[in-house]
Amino acid sequence: MPRLIRITDPARRDTSVVMERARRPPRWRLAGPDGGDVDYATLIKATEGRDHAALLARFGDDDALAAALVAGDPEIDLELVGRRLRPDDSDRVWVKPDGSVLYSVRTLRVTTDPSGTEIGREDFVTVEATVNEDEALPWTGRLYPKSEVVHRFALVRTVMLHHVDGLTFDFLRDIARTLADEDKMALVGSGPRGGQPLVFQANGTPYRGFLEGRVEGEAFRLLLHLSNFELKRPT
Amino acid sequence: MAREIVVGCGGASSRFALERVSRDKLYGKRRRVIVDERGGECQPGTLLRDGSALLLPGSVAQLYVDAAFDVVERDQLSAVDDDGRFLDKVDSTLGVEQPVTGPVPPERVLDTITTAVYALEPTEVDPELAAALAAGDIFETRFSYRGGYEDAPAFLLQNEHGLFALIGEETAFPWLERAAPAADEEDDPFADDELDFSMF
């Protein structure tokens, strides 16, 4: 499904358009020594009850365990080790400290500071997406020179806003032309005044957005550059 | 000797020690933790659908196999292009002087997405380059941390917090025209957006 975004232009009109990611076809693929195809495979290499602690409990002491390792392969489940694991062969579960499967989940949000020290632990609350096709992102009117944006923020993702019909073509091209004429980028955020972050899916990464427009004849590009950190040195 | 970004222009060489900058290092991190009824932290596992095993982290190995399912070791891997031609390996650029071009316009940075940021500490710098960076100019060079099959554009710039190298990946968005094909119905640019609870 295409991802829609509802944006507002400087005239305070809003509409839904499509976001598209960059498509740079891979220039090469990994191959074997002879150029033949290779596949990335996940194989089982160890199974529960075969680790050192379990084997020690099973054989009683180090000497007995050592003798068992010499006599056979108790650490290897020959039925399972080496078996290929495919996504549709298995389910993800949570495992309790005692090794049993967890059935009643409690989710916490743990916050650590930049040094990695835990500074908070509380019940997790879902952060809803702030970008969707129903709620229009306001035109903030806050324009920044491109050089300032590039010098202040790491722009870690970019999506292109794509028209869905002739009307939205004109809508997007006009925004692109306005920004190109000003040679500036527009801050994009969520909330009534655009001061809140852009979150594209529930619990997803929060971003600041910067809209950049380029025009060439009748053609245009309107790009939403996304940043989630500033260009600063860690303290 | 510490690994450095080394760039050269007009016979003058500049060297910069580098330190990776990340969002977590700047702001800290929020993560989701699953606990059991006693508050014990749980770990993700994989349960085989036939019930034959419960796999804990570290229980699987990921490797490359060929069509005959024989393992291909990483140092045996090669890279081929669409025409089946083998590609030469690219060495790490660290410690090796790379040509630098510029100043480049900010649009050149905007033609890429930033995949890594390094804070730079100059150990030897061409005064002309230092002055241009301090004046807000942006310079472009090539970068590969470990080597591989391709290097990437790197942009050197300076702000009030210091010098930085932004490692980029070209985006190459097309121009949109009125008659352009409609947006791809299957494309969801945020389908792979990782769950992230870091502070904003």
- When the pLDDT of each residue in chain B is averaged and rounded to a whole number, the result is 88
A104 neighbourhood in chain B, CB within 8 Å:
36-37
The torsion angles phi and psi of B106, rounded to 5 degrees, stand at -60, -25
- Selection from A45-59, B75-89, B138-152, B185-199 with the highest mean pLDDT: B138-152
Q: Which of A50-54, A105-109, A187-191, B72-76 has the weakest average pLDDT?
A: A50-54
**Could you tell me if A227 and B23 are in contact, meaning their C-beta atoms sit under 8 angstroms apart?**
no
Residue B133 C-beta-side C-alpha neighbours within 13 Å: 24
Compare CB distances from A109 to B28, B32, B65 and report the shortest one's residue. Answer: B32
The predicted structure's pLDDT at residue A88 = 87
- Confidence band (pLDDT; 50, 70, 90) for B200? very low
> Which two three-digit tokens encode residue A219?
């053609």
- Confidence band (pLDDT; 50, 70, 90) for B130? very high
In this complex, do B28 and A114 lie within 8 Å of one another by their Cβ atoms? yes
Would you tell me how many other CB atoms lie within 10 Å of the CB of residue B147? 12
In the predicted model, what is the mean pLDDT of residues B77-105? 91
In this complex, do B26 and A85 lie within 8 Å of one another by their Cβ atoms? no
- Confidence band (pLDDT; 50, 70, 90) for B105? very high
Of all residues in chain B, what percent carry a pLDDT higher than 70?
88
CA distance B170 to B166: 12
In the predicted model, what is the mean pLDDT of residues B141-159? 94
Position B130 in a domain? yes
CA distance B36 to A105: 6
Position B70 in a domain? no
**B174-188 pLDDT, tens per residue?**
999 987 556 665 666
A89 neighbourhood in chain B, CB within 8 Å:
48-49
B45 neighbourhood in chain A, CB within 8 Å:
92-95, 101
Mutate to test the interface with B, among A100, A200, A233 (most CBs of B within 10 A): A233
> Which two three-digit tokens encode residue A32?
């074997």
B106 neighbourhood in chain A, CB within 8 Å:
146-147, 149-150
In this complex, do A32 and B45 lie within 8 Å of one another by their Cβ atoms? no
Position A163 in a domain? yes
**Nearest CA to CA, how far is B126 from chain A (Å)?**
21
A99 neighbourhood in chain B, CB within 8 Å:
56
Query: With 90 as the cut, is the pLDDT of residue A203 above it?
Result: no
Mutate to test the interface with B, among A16, A17, A27, A28 (most CBs of B within 10 A): A28
**A206-228 pLDDT, tens per residue?**
999 999 999 999 999 999 999 99
**A8-42 pLDDT, tens per residue?**
999 999 999 999 988 777 788 899 988 888 999 99
- Selection from B15-24, B54-63, B170-179 with the highest mean pLDDT: B15-24
What CATH code is carried by the domain that includes residue A192? 2.40.290.10
Interface of B with A in 80-109 (CB under 8 A): 80-82, 84, 86-87, 106-107, 109
Position A193 in a domain? yes
Query: With 60 as the cut, is the pLDDT of residue B198 above it?
Result: no
Q: Which residue is closest to B161 within chain A, CA to CA? A: A232
Residue A104 C-beta-side C-alpha neighbours within 13 Å: 5
Three-class SS string for A148-180? Answer: HHHHHEEEEEEEEEECCCHHHHHHHHHHHHHHH
Instruction: Point out which residues pair with A220 in neighbouring strands.
Output: A215, B176
Its domain, for residue B144, covers: 1-20+88-176
The number of folded domains in chain A is 1
The predicted structure's pLDDT at residue B199 = 40
Q: Tokens 């890429």 — which residue? A: B112
**Could you tell me if A38 and A30 are in contact, meaning their C-beta atoms sit under 8 angstroms apart?**
yes
Higher pLDDT, B117 or A37: B117
The predicted structure's pLDDT at residue B189 = 67
**A87-131 pLDDT, tens per residue?**
888 999 999 998 889 998 899 999 999 998 999 999 998 889 999
The predicted structure's pLDDT at residue A178 = 96
Position A52 in a domain? no
The predicted structure's pLDDT at residue B186 = 63
Of all residues in chain A, what percent carry a pLDDT higher than 90?
64
In this complex, do B31 and A110 lie within 8 Å of one another by their Cβ atoms? yes
Position A122 in a domain? no
Query: With 50 as the cut, is the pLDDT of residue B190 above it?
Result: yes
The predicted structure's pLDDT at residue B197 = 44
- When the pLDDT of each residue in chain A is averaged and rounded to a whole number, the result is 91
ipTM: 0.86
Its domain, for residue A201, covers: 3-28+128-230
Q: Which of A135, A194, A189, A160 is nearest to A15 (CA)?
A: A135
CA distance A20 to A108: 33
The predicted structure's pLDDT at residue A79 = 87
CA distance A198 to A156: 14
Task: State in Å, rounded, how far the first CA of chain B is from the last one.
Answer: 36
Of all residues in chain A, what percent carry a pLDDT higher than 70?
100
CA distance A59 to A51: 12
**Nearest CA to CA, how far is A177 from chain B (Å)?**
13
Residue B157 contacts A where some CB pair is shorter than 8 Å:
yes
The predicted structure's pLDDT at residue A46 = 85
Position A70 in a domain? no
The predicted structure's pLDDT at residue B192 = 61
The predicted structure's pLDDT at residue A25 = 73
Position A35 in a domain? no
The number of folded domains in chain B is 1
Position A50 in a domain? no
